[in-house]
Structure 1
Amino acid sequence: MPDRLFVIRDYHAGDADTTLALFQRAVREVASRDYTPADIEAWAGHIDPGVWANSLERQFTWLAMLDDTPAGFASLNDHGHLDMLFVSPDHQRCGVASALLMTAEQAVRQRGMHQLTTEASLTARPFFEAQGFEVMKAQAIERRGQVLRNFWMEKRLDHTRSAL
């Protein structure tokens, strides 16, 4: 997306529906190349909006915005675990995920932690590896009767370098 800049902002309570829709589109349109239709439905279908909103409000959550359009979001828990990082199918490979990850890394460093963890999908694993994460173990997670494969990944953070 040439000549357009996005900004990272904090999540607001009114962003719940927007982030849920973005998550579902990302899973259904992007992750679908690595997961079966049944996997996708188990992962992204039948999500309670109240539970979704509560989860994001309890974490450090950020949105990447292009003008008034959400391009992606990330959420980080108190223990330095990147719970979610999803980019709209309309804004893939534009630097959105990298900027959100940089924001999360900065938050982890500011809290004096030395590593960032995540559970990366088959689709996201190459991105996280390119960002310095290492696979610690392959996982098989049961969700709504389906077994979804993902990877527990960790990144050691260098505290002598600050995120820009």
Structure 2
Amino acid sequence: MRPYAPADADATIDIFLRAIREVSSKDYSSAQIEAWAKVEDRGLWAERRISRPAWIAEIDGEPVGFSDLTADGCLDMMFVHPEFQGLGVASSLLRRVEEKARTLGFRRIYTEASRTAQSFFERKGFRVISRQTVEKRGQSLENFLMDKHYAE
């Protein structure tokens, strides 16, 4: 596990696109996947990752997952490469996010979890606040606003 660096933009974009196309495709239609799995502005993508605490999970020096935390306590993105699912990568990333949230004094973090990720977050102590529908390039996608509270 290491902090995100500007040179990680292409690796994180690849992980993001492959995770959606190869993993989330079991929970969303092909039209929804096509609308979601796009990065139109690589520069904006890189700027968002570098503007906040963000981490890269590596195995044998290769990026296999990433996550980040916004200033208001949102775990905005967490994606794991399809070939490295089920190895504890997401759990390790979440531990890092939670450690940072606690050091920043957050008593709560939240996320907008896909159908694919909902059960993972529930197993990690998050609760569903509400079911949401978001629009991506003309497609409606269901996700779940979830949060987790920490003791003081």
1:21 Cα shift? Answer: 0.6
Q: Which amino acid aligns with 1:105?
A: E
* Alignment-derived partner of residue 57 in structure 1: 50
* Alignment of structure 1 residues 59-138 onto 2, 5 Å: 59-138=52-131
Structure 2 distance, partners of 1:41, 1:9, is 30
Structure 2 distance, partners of 1:92, 1:47, is 26
Structure 1 distance, partners of 2:39, 2:137, is 10
1:46 Cα shift? Answer: 4.5
1:96 Cα shift? Answer: 0.4
Residues 44-70 of structure 1: per-residue CA shift (max 9 Å, x gap)? 125311111111111211000001211
Structure 2 distance, partners of 1:145, 1:10, is 34
Higher helix share: 2
Structure 2 distance, partners of 1:12, 1:83, is 17
Residues 20-59 of structure 1: per-residue CA shift (max 9 Å, x gap)? 0110000000000000111111111253111111111112
Asked if 1:11 corresponds to 2:4, the answer is yes
User: How large is the Cα RMSD of the aligned pairs?
Assistant: 0.9
Structure 2 distance, partners of 1:54, 1:41, is 23
Q: Which runs of 4+ in 1 moved over 4 A?
A: none
Structure 2 distance, partners of 1:105, 1:68, is 23
| TM-score normalised per structure 2 | 0.97
- Where 1:82 maps in the other structure, the secondary structure is coil
Residues 123-161 of structure 1: per-residue CA shift (max 9 Å, x gap)? 0000000000000000000110000100000001134xx
Structure 2 distance, partners of 1:117, 1:84, is 11
Q: Which amino acid aligns with 1:69?
A: E
Percent identity of paired positions between Structure 1 and Structure 2: 47
- Where 2:134 maps in the other structure, the secondary structure is strand
Structure 1 unpaired stretches of 5+: 1-7, 160-164
Structure 2 unpaired stretches of 5+: none
